[in-house]
Structure 1
């Protein structure tokens, strides 16, 4: 997809991977709008020439704000990137609220935003939806059951809607990042990919009209999973 002159929306676009995707799309000539929860971070993006929308995608008000913020625009690229982790613990009933926020943000919000913006995307003739899942959508880790479940669910949704849209002119790309250095992963051990490098692989996938981009070390995980799903699960469950 040639993004020059195209209007793009990147949710969760004021920080982390989303911010880097937005910057790189802008560098290629796209007209980029970003949404996020932090007015301060969004103002910093506005100063760089981005359109901004304040909206917390964990609830209907935020979803409405994002959809209404691009109403009437020739939207050709939707990047469903916004995501949160969860403090859910199996033996802590109080943590169910964190689980609900994670499910709503990571899974329901992309569904709602995609569904409501699909008429605008179809109207462009050529358009693309990018759903950012995770390598953990392939095989989960014990320490993040809700987060992993939301990403696995979004992966399944992505594969199904790709088939539904195959004759529509709207392409569907799934991006599966590895562990990336962002605010969400602060404090995690192990080698992390930079957000800029992760975004570069995703943007390359957009330009090449790919259906799926396994980013960084996720390529190896996908290979292991293709040979032995059980081995992939054993490796990742303690990750």
Structure 2
């Protein structure tokens, strides 16, 4: 996809991987609008030349704000990047609200945005949807059951709509990051991929027409899963 002159929307684009994707799309000549919940971070992005939309994607009003903000614009690239973790614990019913928040943000919102913005995307000569899932969509870990479920659900949805749109002008791309150094993973031990490098792989995949972008160590996980799904699950479940 030629990015120069295209209008892109990056949800969760004021921080972490989303911010890096936005910066690199802008560097490639795209006009970029980012969404976020932090007024301070959005002001910082506006100062860098980005369009901004404030909205909490876990709420219907937040989704409405994003749709209304781009519905009359020539949107050619939708990057569903916004995501949250979940402090859900199986033996604590009081954490079900956390689980619901995670599901609304990570799964419901991307589905809503794909559905509601599809006519705008189809009106362009060339367009793409990028859904950011996770290596954990391939094989889950026990410590993040709801988060893993949302990403696995988004992966399945992405594969299904790719087939549904195969004869259209809208390409559907799945980006699968590994554990990346962001605010969401702060304090978590282990090797983490740099957000800039992860975003670079995703943007390169958009430009070169990939259907699936396995970033960093996810390449190894995909290889392992292709050889033995059971082995990949056994390794990842305790990760």
TM range (shorter): over 0.9
Post-superposition, which runs of at least 4 consecutive aligned residues in structure 1 deviate over 4 A?
Answer: none
**Structure 1: distance between partners of 2:209 and 2:36:** 26
Deviation string for 1:125-160 (max 9, x for gaps)?
Answer: 210000000000000000000000000000000000
Gaps in structure 2 of 5+ consecutive residues: none
**Structure 2: distance between partners of 1:169 and 1:4:** 17
Write out aligned runs for 1:115-194 (5 A). 115-194=115-194
Structure 2 SS opposite 1:143:
helix
Write out aligned runs for 1:1-239 (5 A). 1-239=1-239
Structure 2 SS opposite 1:144:
helix
> Shift of the alpha carbon at 1:71?
2.0
Deviation string for 1:39-94 (max 9, x for gaps)?
Answer: 11000000000000001000100000000011210000000000000000001111
What is the total number of aligned residue pairs between the two structures? 239
Structure 2 SS opposite 1:188:
coil
**Structure 2: distance between partners of 1:220 and 1:6:** 33
**TM-score with structure 1 setting the length:** 1.00
Structure 2 SS opposite 1:79:
strand
**Structure 2: distance between partners of 1:39 and 1:167:** 40
**Structure 2: distance between partners of 1:191 and 1:229:** 23
Gaps in structure 1 of 5+ consecutive residues: none
